[in-house]
């Protein structure tokens, strides 16, 4: 090799495949011995040869880069340096240390689940996967060098006693919901990993009573209110013997998990958690463990980039906090190996190494050079890493961009078989496409031959396709073309895959309905109105409309992200309905970003009972009607509940049974069973919006940098809402009923108290008394007046009451059998599992989803959204 990077094939191979001893649980292994086995198992195989070839290609890239490097003039470097410094200055100016981003990562996730469900495995080295490939291994196996992404047959050589368990994704999927308990807006990166923003939670935590930070140990599955994750056919081992067995050599096993500080009234041990973010995260991990019997590790830092690195620091079953000071961040970065940074992989690392860059501190020294040798996105990413900068907001779920299926097999060289396999793949893909109601224009065929050479061939059709025949027609053409190229030799394939991309928007497939009859009547469409959306963003949410039509829960987060920065009010094609939608969704985003959740699984037990005893709660809430304003707009998760479940509901309000719909525009209950009447109501609401088209705006995040317009915009919306309400009142000529919507807020203008309707739609509580100071809060459980105006405190109290109710009176009753009032406090969300999440708004801010210190483009390599998992989640 010209640059001397790899002098032999073996070295070249090992530089790609050798044991990466950075991995947790891999410390102090006999690396040479392990690498020798890896080498011996691989040498001479086609895979090996291909790896060597790829290695050479990388080396060529490096050579090319080095040639460029020597041609760089002093002047170029000087100019580049100036540019780099300017950017660094700008980035520094925008550094945002105000967020507390948490990255949670389940420890050896798949393996841990399998061990939990099959305790005999606990003492053995085991891995999840197949002889061909392992997904992960437990910590026993890691001692032998067995790790994720290693083929099982090699792992067996390293560790002959290794037990390999096949993957069971359905089981792993169930775990995901625990993250939502903590932050419904969490960003899942995979089945076992997520980012959460703890900023607001910690702010509120400081004023929390100790009781709400007290958590019981699970002593048996039935004694606590913690829901069980659905785990088909397995026994539930004692949690306390799980953790030490799983991670006996954990660097940071929290002893508190094993030696509880006290014994609760119910006989259960409990632990009190503090108010700091470390304690909050520790509490979360504790609860995850109590609930799933699995441990998680976490990193706490001012941004996602750092949080991710931090979560790895004390793995397994540990956490690490990087203080939110510039000094701490820069210290942390100095000795951080570049490879630890998300987005810098094997190849990037090697290229950087060739420039003598191995730790992040080297970045700043070489940044001018890097700016000349790497693409703009790449070096921008590098410079941010060098400054310890990263995203301070959690990008929400985005739309899927492609869908594919592929299969690996033993050599397949008969044209007939290849074609029928291709057909099979197309069938699978078409089925998946149908599930998400997708149609795409680009069909890509992927082929890997027995020498591991990968080819992709794509065709973009003038129309979108989704059916088997359509996809196959395109894929077959591509395959035949490749066959012809090779003929008379046959293609010798080991993998075939079909992918569809370039999805068309839902609107192209089915026009949106002005009246949201689509929410209500599956299959029925109103062809008289169609909406051409100018913005691709807004229109590119194909799964949404269909899901509405199926009356499934609408993924509002998805919808929310259909509305992105750059949307403005002067888009003529945007329907008013969509504008109203957009605005509300945007407001949801605002409140979502400022909401914090009060853990309340016990309350969730209550909520899931649904239609009981609303009345008993109503009388307990006295308060003032709020002035509409931004903070108390009430446009939060509640709305998503209303919207997503804007279908007929039968309720027993006021002792009578009535059919009603919740209007998705004004949120009022429309008491009718006639869809036409309901649609008329919605149309009226929409025309209310239309009279103020410029006020129902979707703000451009770029032009609203400091969120200063938020208040103004909220006022506009609330004004409209007030007017709308007044108008409706006139129409119906009825006084306010308890179900009428009012935003209530406490003295600080932060909170609204609502009573939850049984079927999702939220009805707001009419204030009944006013003491001049704010709402008088009476606990719906113990019926005692609470000496506080602070809804957070009140929530905590209710929480505790419910806990006691559930634990001490109802014992092991399951959630569905508990018959208690349904209580919701504002900005709550009833999750699909019936969990009641309590949150409280704080000052609306952070409207910008892209904060000054977040990367200029999340498209920076490796930092884009990961949608892999969404397929599993849906």
Partner DNA sequence: GGGCGCACT
Partner DNA sequence: ATCTAGTGCGCCC
Binding to DNA, residues 138-197 (CB under 7 A): 149-151, 153-154, 156, 189-193
Q: 296 vs 44, 209, 676, 807, CA distance in Å?
A: 40, 26, 51, 26
For DNA, the closer of residues 51 and 271 by Cβ is 51
Closer CB to DNA, residue 152 or residue 761? Answer: 152
Check binding of 267 to DNA (CB under 7 A). Answer: no
For DNA, the binding residues in 473-532 under the rule CB under 7 A are 494-495, 497, 499, 501-502
C-beta closer to DNA: residue 24 or 641: 24
Provide the minimum distance between the beta carbon of 477 and DNA in the complex, in angstroms, as a whole number: 11
Burial bucket for residue 509 (CB in 10 Å: 0-12, 13-18, 19+): middle
Residues in 189-248 at the binding interface with DNA, rule: CB under 7 A: 189-193
Which is closer to DNA, CB of 309 or CB of 582?
Answer: 309
Q: How far is the CB of 11 from DNA (least distance, A)?
A: 16
Please, which residues bridge with residue 193 across strands?
105, 190
For residues 252 and 314, is the Cβ–Cβ distance under 8 A? yes
Closer to DNA by Cβ: residue 156 or 612: 156
- Lay out the site mask for DNA across 37-56 (x = CB under 7 A, - = otherwise): -x--xx--xxxx-----x--
How does DSSP assign 215-263, residue by residue? EEPPSSTTTSSPPPP--TT-----GGGTHHHHTTT-TT--HHHHS-SEE
Name the minimum Å distance from CB 10 to DNA: 12
Question: Per CB under 7 A, which region of 268-276, 399-407, 524-532, 558-566 contacts DNA?
Answer: 399-407
Cβ-based nearer residue to DNA, 53 or 203: 53
Q: Compute the least distance from the CB of residue 285 to DNA, in Å.
A: 18
Mark 305-344 with x for binding to DNA (rule: CB under 7 A) and - for no binding: ---x--------------------------------xxxx
> How many whole angstroms separate alpha carbon 43 and alpha carbon 35?
12
Please state the closest distance from residue 233 (CB atom) to DNA, in A.
25
Select from 29, 97, 121, 458 the one that contacts DNA (CB under 7 A). Answer: 458
The burial of 674, by beta-carbon neighbours within 10 Å (0-12 exposed, 13-18 middle, 19 or more buried), is given as exposed
Q: Which of positions 774-813 make contact with DNA (CB under 7 A)?
A: none
Q: Which residues contact 841 (CB under 8 A, 6 or more apart)?
A: 591, 594, 595, 631, 632, 636, 750, 751, 752, 826, 827
Decide whether 444 or 739 has the Cβ nearer to DNA. Answer: 444
> Is residue 643 helix, strand or coil?
helix
Contact 393, 846 (CB under 8 A): yes
**Using CB under 7 A, which of 23, 455, 509, 843 touches DNA?**
455
Task: Draw the binding track, 415-454, toward DNA (x: CB under 7 A; -: no contact).
Answer: --------------------------xx-x---------x
What are the residues whose beta carbons fall under 8 Å from the beta carbon of 199, sequence distance 6 or more? 98, 99, 100
Considering only residues 8 through 27, tell me which ones interact with DNA, judged by CB under 7 A.
Answer: 17
- Selected from 65, 66, 347, 473, the binder of DNA by CB under 7 A is 347
Which one, 455 or 833, has the nearer CB to DNA?
A: 455
Give 346 or 480: the residue with its C-beta nearer to DNA: 346
Residue 74 vs 356, nearer CB to DNA: 356
- For 300, list phi and psi in degrees, rounded to 5: -120, 125
Question: E strands within 635-726?
Answer: 649-651, 658-662, 669-670
CB of 375 to DNA, least distance (A): 2
How many Cβ atoms sit within 10 Å of the Cβ of residue 568? 14
Alpha-carbon radius of gyration of the chain: 29
DSSP-derived secondary structure letter, 707: S
By C-beta, is 98 or 456 nearer to DNA?
A: 456
Q: How far is the CB of 587 from DNA (least distance, A)?
A: 25
Interacting positions 853-872 with DNA (CB under 7 A): 857, 859-862, 864-868, 871
Nearer to DNA, 71 or 132 (CB): 132
Q: Please, which residues bridge with residue 455 across strands?
A: 447
Binding mask 348-387 for DNA (x = CB under 7 A): xx------------------------xxxxx---------
CA distance 56 to 45: 17
- CA-based nearest residue to 588, from 235, 312, 859, 185: 185
Size of the site for DNA (CB under 7 A): 80
| Candidate list 24, 26, 58, 385; residue touching DNA; CB under 7 A | 58
Q: Look-up: residue for tokens 């001397």?
A: 4
Name the minimum Å distance from CB 459 to DNA. Answer: 4
Q: How far apart are CA 541 and CA 504, in angstroms?
A: 9
Choosing from 133, 245, 328, 782, the residue that interacts with DNA (CB under 7 A) is 133
Q: How far is the CB of 827 from DNA (least distance, A)?
A: 30
Length of the chain: 874
- In the list 9, 457, 480, 833, the residue contacting DNA (rule: CB under 7 A) is 457
Q: Which residues contact 697 (CB under 8 A, 6 or more apart)?
A: 568, 569, 579, 583, 713, 716
For residue 757, the surrounding DSSP H or E stretch is none
φ, ψ of residue 541 to 5 degrees: the values are: -130, 65
Q: Is 408 in the site for DNA (CB under 7 A)?
A: yes
Closest CA to 458 of 450, 469, 447: 447
Contact with DNA (CB under 7 A): which of 73, 132, 528, 733? 132
- Look at residues 613, 633, 657 and name the one whose alpha carbon lies nearest to residue 745: 633
Phi (first) and psi of residue 436, to 5 degrees: -105, 10
Contacts of DNA in 94-123 (CB under 7 A): none
Q: 472 or 667, CB closer to DNA?
A: 472
Give the interface segment with DNA, choosing from 116-124, 216-224, 288-296, 402-410 (CB under 7 A): 402-410
**Residues 538 to 597 in contact with DNA, rule: CB under 7 A:** none
The sign of the dihedral angle between the CA atoms of 707, 708, 709, 710 is: positive
Cβ-based nearer residue to DNA, 57 or 703: 57
Residues ≥6 apart with Cβ < 8 Å to 734: none
Question: CB-wise, 350 or 847, nearer to DNA?
Answer: 350
Nearer to DNA, 331 or 477 (CB): 477
User: Which of residues 539 and 607 has its CB atom nearest to DNA in the complex?
Assistant: 539
First-to-final CA distance of the chain:
48
Residue 298's φ and ψ, nearest 5 degrees, are: -145, 150
DSSP-derived letter for residue 744 is: B
- Phi and psi, residue 52, nearest 5°: -60, -40
Site string for DNA, 59-98 (x = CB under 7 A): --x-------------------------------------
CB of 315 to DNA, least distance (A): 12
Q: How far is the CB of 213 from DNA (least distance, A)?
A: 30
Residue 156 or 647 with smaller CB distance to DNA: 156
Bridge partners (DSSP) of residue 188 are 194
- Measured in degrees and rounded to the nearest 5, phi and psi for residue 433 equal -60, -40
Q: Within 816-835, which residues bind DNA (CB under 7 A)?
A: none
Q: Of the ranges 36-44, 538-546, 566-574, 839-847, which one interacts with DNA (CB under 7 A)? A: 36-44
- Please identify, among the stretches 403-411, 508-516, 580-588, 591-599, the one whose residues bind DNA according to the rule CB under 7 A: 403-411
Q: Is 400 in the site for DNA (CB under 7 A)?
A: yes
Compute the least distance from the CB of residue 540 to DNA, in Å.
Answer: 11
């Amino acid at each position: 090799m010209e640059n001397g990077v790899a002098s032999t094939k073996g070295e070249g191979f090992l530089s790609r495949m050798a044991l990466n001893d950075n991995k947790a649980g891999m410390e102090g292994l006999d690396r040479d011995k392990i690498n020798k086995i890896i080498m011996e198992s691989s040498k001479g195989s086609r895979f090996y040869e291909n790896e060597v070839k790829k290695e050479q290609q990388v080396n060529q890239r490096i050579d090319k880069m080095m040639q460029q490097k020597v041609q760089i003039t002093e002047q170029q470097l000087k100019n580049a340096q100036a540019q780099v410094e300017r950017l660094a200055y700008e980035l520094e100016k925008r550094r945002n240390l105000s967020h507390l981003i948490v990255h949670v990562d389940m420890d050896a996730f798949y393996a841990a689940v399998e061990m939990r469900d099959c305790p005999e495995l606990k003492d053995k080295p085991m891995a999840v996967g197949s002889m061909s490939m392992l997904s992960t291994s437990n910590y026993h196996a890691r001692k032998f060098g067995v790790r994720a992404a290693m083929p099982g047959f090699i792992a067996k050589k390293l560790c002959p006693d290794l037990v390999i368990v096949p993957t069971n994704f359905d089981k792993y999927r169930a775990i995901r919901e625990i993250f939502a308990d903590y932050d419904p807006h969490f960003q899942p990166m995979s089945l076992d990993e997520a980012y959460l923003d703890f900023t607001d939670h910690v702010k509120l935590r400081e004023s929390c009573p100790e009781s709400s930070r007290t958590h019981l140990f699970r002593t048996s599955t039935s004694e606590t209110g913690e829901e069980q994750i659905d785990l088909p056919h397995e026994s539930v081992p004692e949690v306390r013997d799980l953790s030490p067995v799983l991670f006996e050599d954990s660097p940071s096993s929290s002893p508190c998990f094993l030696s509880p500080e006290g014994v609760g009234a119910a006989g259960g041990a409990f632990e009190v958690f503090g108010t700091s973010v470390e304690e909050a995260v520790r509490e979360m991990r504790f609860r995850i463990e109590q609930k799933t019997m699995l441990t998680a590790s976490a990193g706490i830092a001012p941004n996602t980039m750092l949080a991710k690195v931090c979560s790895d620091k004390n793995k397994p079953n540990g956490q690490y906090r990087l203080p939110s000071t510039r000094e701490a961040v820069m210290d942390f970065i100095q000795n951080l190996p570049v490879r630890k940074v998300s987005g810098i992989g094997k190849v990037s690392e090697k290229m950087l190494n060739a420039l003598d860059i191995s730790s992040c501190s080297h970045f700043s020294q070489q940044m001018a050079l890097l700016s000349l040798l790497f693409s703009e996105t790449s070096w921008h990413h590098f410079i941010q890493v060098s400054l310890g900068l990263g995203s301070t907001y959690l990008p929400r779920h985005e739309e899927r961009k492609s869908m594919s299926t592929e299969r690996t097999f033993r050599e397949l060289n008969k044209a007939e078989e290849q074609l029928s396999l291709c057909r099979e793949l197309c069938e699978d893909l078409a089925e998946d496409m149908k599930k998400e109601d997708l149609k795409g224009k680009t069909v890509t065929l992927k082929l890997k031959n027995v020498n591991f050479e990968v080819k992709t061939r794509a065709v973009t059709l003038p129309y979108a396709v989704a059916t088997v025949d359509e996809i196959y027609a395109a894929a077959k053409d591509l395959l035949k073309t490749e066959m012809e190229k090779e003929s008379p030799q046959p293609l010798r394939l080991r993998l075939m895959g079909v992918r569809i991309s370039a999805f068309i928007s839902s609107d192209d497939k089915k026009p949106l309905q002005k009246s949201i009859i689509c929410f209500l009547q599956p299959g029925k469409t109103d062809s008289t109105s169609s909406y051409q959306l100018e913005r691709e963003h807004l229109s590119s949410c194909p799964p949404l409309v269909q899901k509405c039509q199926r009356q499934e829960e609408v993924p509002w987060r998805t919808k929310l992200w259909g509305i992105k920065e750059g949307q403005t009010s002067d888009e003529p094609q945007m329907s008013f309905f969509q504008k109203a939608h957009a605005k509300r969704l945007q407001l949801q985003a605002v409140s979502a970003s400022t909401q914090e959740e009060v853990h309340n699984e016990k309350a969730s037990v209550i909520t899931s009972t649904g239609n009981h005893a609303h009345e008993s709660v109503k009388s307990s809430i006295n308060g003032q009607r709020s002035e509409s304003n931004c903070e108390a707009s009430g446009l939060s998760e509640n709305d998503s509940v209303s919207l997503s479940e804007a279908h007929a509901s039968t309720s027993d309000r006021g002792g009578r049974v009535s059919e009603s719909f919740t209007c998705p525009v004004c949120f009022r209950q429309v008491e009718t069973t006639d869809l036409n009447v309901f649609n008329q109501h919605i149309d009226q609401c929409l025309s209310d919006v239309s009279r103020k088209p410029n006020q129902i705006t979707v703000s451009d995040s770029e032009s609203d940098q400091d969120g200063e317009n938020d208040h103004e915009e909220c006022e506009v919306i609330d004004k409209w809402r007030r007017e709308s309400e007044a108008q409706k009142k006139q129409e119906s000529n009825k006084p306010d009923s308890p179900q009428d919507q009012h935003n209530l807020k406490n003295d600080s203008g932060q909170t609204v108290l609502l009573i939850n309707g049984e079927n999702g739609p939220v009805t707001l509580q009419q204030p009944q008394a006013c003491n001049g100071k704010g709402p008088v809060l009476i606990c719906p459980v113990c019926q005692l007046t609470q000496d506080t105006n602070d809804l957070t405190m009140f929530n905590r109290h209710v929480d505790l009451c419910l806990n006691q109710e559930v634990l001490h009176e109802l014992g092991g009753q399951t959630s569905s059998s508990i018959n208690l009032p349904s209580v919701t406090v504002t900005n709550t969300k009833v999750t699909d599992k019936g969990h009641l999440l309590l949150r409280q708004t704080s000052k609306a801010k952070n409207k910008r989803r892209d904060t000054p210190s977040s990367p200029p483009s999340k498209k920076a390599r490796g930092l884009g959204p990961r949608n892999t998992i969404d397929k599993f989640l849906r």
